[in-house]
Amino acid sequence: MRKILKEVIKPVLIEDLRGKRIGVDASLSIYQTHVDKIESSSLRGIFYKIAAFRRQGIIPVYFFDGKPPALKDAVCAARKKKIEEGNGIKIPPGTFDDVRRLLQLLNIEYIESPGEAEAQAAHATVHNFIDMVSTEDIDALPFGALKQCFGLKSNSKTVNVVMLAEVLAHLNISRQSFIDLCILLGSDYTTRTIRGVGPVSALKYIREHGSIEKILTELKLKPDEGFCFKAAREEFLNPTVMEKYPEKRLQPVYDEDTLMRVSEFLKSKNVHVDVNKLK
């Protein structure tokens, strides 16, 4: 998908994100930082990520996943099996609650999504609660995120930004057709697809026919059994999300008492950091 969108994914200086409220997928952040399979690594990684956000002038808002839709059962089962076989990252029990506690102590906003965190973050851009979503997964766009950035790291000088309106204009298709394109290229909601249809042909067919139904009818193609594209499309169009948001917070200011409480909490989890990085 990124190859298809390369002309509308634009580099933006990190300075241009100063003062922006950026939605962060909490689960993805935890998995990205938990690389050494030590219980404390997620907390340490999240702490220094927040310190980096402060240096960059970014106001992060973390989004936690709720209950995944039934359509995602196969993907979740595959991930669980991978972990059981020793090929995946296993997050120790209590890690997500520890991260929530750290965010509370740091007065960092976070949202408990009833469903998918990316769907909630996308919804939050539409309702002006955040300015953009930061995630490496393209699914935020079919969920309706107005703006998304890739590659936001602690040492980033630039990030790549893409806007949904520019994507649709560039591809010359509707949002629903774009959703169908994403489904054809693979998503967490479909473990099957149409054999022989790759990125180039998928875009060609969507431009010509507009929907997966018409592609199947006009080209007399037969999808793999279990290609539940209609249910996947509905999930992207109408995901489970909360409709109301709390009042926006400003960038927090930390006094010595706050820094001490943060330090004590992290030490209780056997995590040692330089809390002065938050100043």
What residue segments make up the domains of the chain, in order of their start? 2-168, 172-237
The pLDDT tens digits for 90-134 are 788 899 999 999 999 999 999 999 999 999 999 999 999 999 999
pLDDT tens for each residue of 160-179 = 999 999 999 999 999 999 99
pLDDT exceeds 70 at position 36? no
Nearest to 135, CA basis, from 159, 164, 102:
159
Q: Nearest 10 degrees: CA dihedral of 235, 236, 242, 245? A: 180
The confidence score (pLDDT) of residue 101 equals 97
The one-letter amino acid at 167: V
Say what the pLDDT of residue 35 is. 62
Which CATH superfamily includes the segment(s) 172-237? 5' to 3' exonuclease, C-terminal subdomain (1.10.150.20)
Q: How many whole angstroms separate alpha carbon 133 and alpha carbon 277?
A: 25
Q: Which of 263, 239, 277 is nearest to 124 (CA)?
A: 239
| Per-residue model confidence (pLDDT) at position 279 | 86
State pLDDT tens for residues 182-193.
999 888 888 778
Residue type present at position 47: F
Q: Which of 220, 77, 174, 262 is nearest to 277 (CA)?
A: 262
Phi (first) and psi of residue 164, to 5 degrees: -60, -40
- How is residue 52 written in tokens? 């980096």
Pick the CATH number of 2-168 from 1.10.357.10, 3.40.50.620, 3.40.50.1010, 3.40.50.300: 3.40.50.1010
Where in 127-243 does DSSP place strands (E)? 132-134, 147-150, 158-163
Q: Is 263 exposed, middle or buried (0-12, 13-18, 19+ CB in 10 A)?
A: middle
Is pLDDT at 55 greater than 60 in this prediction?
yes
76 — pLDDT class (breaks 50, 70, 90): confident
Average pLDDT score, the chain: 90
Question: How far is residue 264 CA from its own chain's centroid?
Answer: 30
Better pLDDT: 229 or 137: 229
pLDDT tens figures, 214-256: 999 999 888 887 788 999 999 999 999 999 999 999 899 999 9
pLDDT of amino acid 75: 73
